[in-house]
Amino acid sequence: MKSFLRNASITLNPKSKLATKLLLLPSIHLIFVKPFSQSTSIPTKQDRVRDHGYDNYMEVEKKIRKVVKFHSLILSQPNNTIPISLLDTLARRLGLGFKQHEPGAFLLKFPHVFEIYEHPVQRILYCRLTRKALDQIRHEHEAVLAQIPDAVTRLRKLVMMSNTGRIRLEHVRIARTEFGLPEDFEYSVILKYPEFFKLIDAEETRDKYIEIVDREASLSVCAIERVREIEYRSKGIDAEDVRFSFVVNFPPGFKIGKYFRIAVWKWQRLPYWSPYEDISGYDLRSLEAQKRLEKRAVACIHELLSLTVEKKITLERIAHFRNVMNLPKKLKEFLLQHQGIFYISTRGNYGKLHTVFLREAYKRGELVEPNDVYLARRRLAELVLMSPRKAKVDAELVNYRNGLDDEDEIE
């Protein structure tokens, strides 16, 4: 027996009694293998798998953000024009991140948005917005004003998701563009509808808060619940399978193993509390309650994204609502566990900001259900992406038509 053991390689559990005895024998080659266990729960730490469709979308957004900053700069000047010689100074003062002479070069890249011309009297170069750019700004402003009733509903639902029934005014102001609110929403939305909102001052912090006046039951229906109803009615899916499920669409290249698939299936059937439900009276100490609370956090972020105009918002702005919505502290790691529902893009601001997309809301780089505000903003993207060569051709055509008009007047 000893001669057999000396020449054999044995695979044992290192904690077993037999392994302890065999260690005392000389010249034995032992291979200890950790017992293999297959987990059917979603891993807490996952690497982000890139989806180039969303990243390319954010590369365009990076250009648009700079263009919008120059929009505001030019429109804030007298006569909505700005001398080219002052661009460097004003850009540095506003922290636009340009080096010397870069602002002028940047404007030349977008001739459909910015027009550089020579002042007829002063004989110096000025910059102003083109007619197409001014039309785009007007269309977006009109679209925002036209959907104020919808914005009121979105804000009501947002405040209702708070565990205290109130949200800090400054946090909403920072994210007003994402929620389609006008710049003066404090007056045109909150104070204009006292039957829905109340603006209060906190004594301990001196901050202003938006408080909900009445919780309307019809507003407590989440966007995902309407999606489930459509899935159930149109595809005839089993009610038990769709009752607590989310639309899951993993990015290309995401590896889905057998046990991970089982974990997702189990998670889809896990019950949870609605984002609009008051959970202060529940005992949240058990493991089952913690699982339901984690899934409720997914539902909260899903609903928060559904309330935005473009179904996307930066991770940093979601963090503003973390305490009032009982969201996890490590939001990025938490969202990476659910890459089939959300996508986090680091493009668009040199990796400084993380933009969270609702995957089910997009198809081939466009919103599945576009709205007027989204369409108005996409017009600016079209102007930014339009070829400079086309702008040159358009200018030549205008000059040609002006020349024909002058000849007609002479005749």
Question: 8 in helix, strand or coil?
Answer: coil
Q: What is the mean pLDDT of residues 224-234?
A: 85
Q: pLDDT digits over 40-91, tens only? A: 567 777 888 899 899 999 989 988 988 998 988 899 888 899 998 888 888 8
d(CA 210, CA 96): 32
Cα separations in angstroms, 67 against 156, 159, 289, 354: 32, 32, 47, 20
Helices (H) then strands (E): counts for the chain: 17, 13
Amino acid, single-letter form, for residue 165: G
pLDDT bin (cut points 50, 70, 90) of residue 184 is: very high
Q: Average model confidence (pLDDT) for the chain?
A: 83
Domains of the chain, start order: 52-134 (1.10.10), 135-276+285-385 (no CATH)
Q: Which residue has the higher pLDDT, 142 or 205?
A: 142
d(CA 145, CA 188): 10
| Residue 389, pLDDT score | 64
Q: Which of 85-94, 151-160, 233-242, 330-339 has the lowest mean pLDDT?
A: 233-242
| Residue 26, pLDDT score | 44
Token code pair at residue 331: 């939001």
Q: Which residue has the higher pLDDT, 93 or 331?
A: 331
| Residue 371, pLDDT score | 94
Decide: 248 and 302 in contact? Cβ < 8 Å: no
Q: Which residue has the higher pLDDT, 324 or 29?
A: 324
Torsion angle of C-alpha atoms 133, 138, 141, 146, degrees rounded to 10: -140
11 pLDDT higher than 60: no
d(CA 194, CA 63): 39
Q: Which residue has the higher pLDDT, 225 or 27?
A: 225
Cα separations in angstroms, 353 against 74, 345, 365, 398: 26, 8, 20, 42
Q: Which of 64-73, 86-95, 235-244, 289-298 has the lowest mean pLDDT?
A: 235-244
Q: Which residue has the higher pLDDT, 395 or 326?
A: 326
309 pLDDT higher than 90: yes
Sheet order of strands, 355-358 included: 312-314, 355-358, 342-345
| Residue 24, pLDDT score | 47
d(CA 300, CA 332): 15
HSE-up of 311 (CA within 13 Å, CB side)?
A: 21
**What length does the chain have?**
411
268 pLDDT higher than 50: yes
Token code pair at residue 274: 């609605």
Q: What is the mean pLDDT of residues 218-244?
A: 83
Q: Which of 96-105, 303-312, 368-377, 394-403 has the lowest mean pLDDT?
A: 394-403
23 pLDDT higher than 90: no
- Could you give the residue ranges of the DSSP H alpha helices within 274-387? 287-306, 315-319, 331-336, 372-385
| Residue 406, pLDDT score | 47
Count of beta carbons in the 10 Å neighbourhood of residue 408: 8
CA-derived radius of gyration, the chain: 29
| Residue 158, pLDDT score | 96
Distance between the two ends of the chain, CA-based, in angstroms?
A: 120
Q: Which residue has the higher pLDDT, 50 or 11?
A: 50
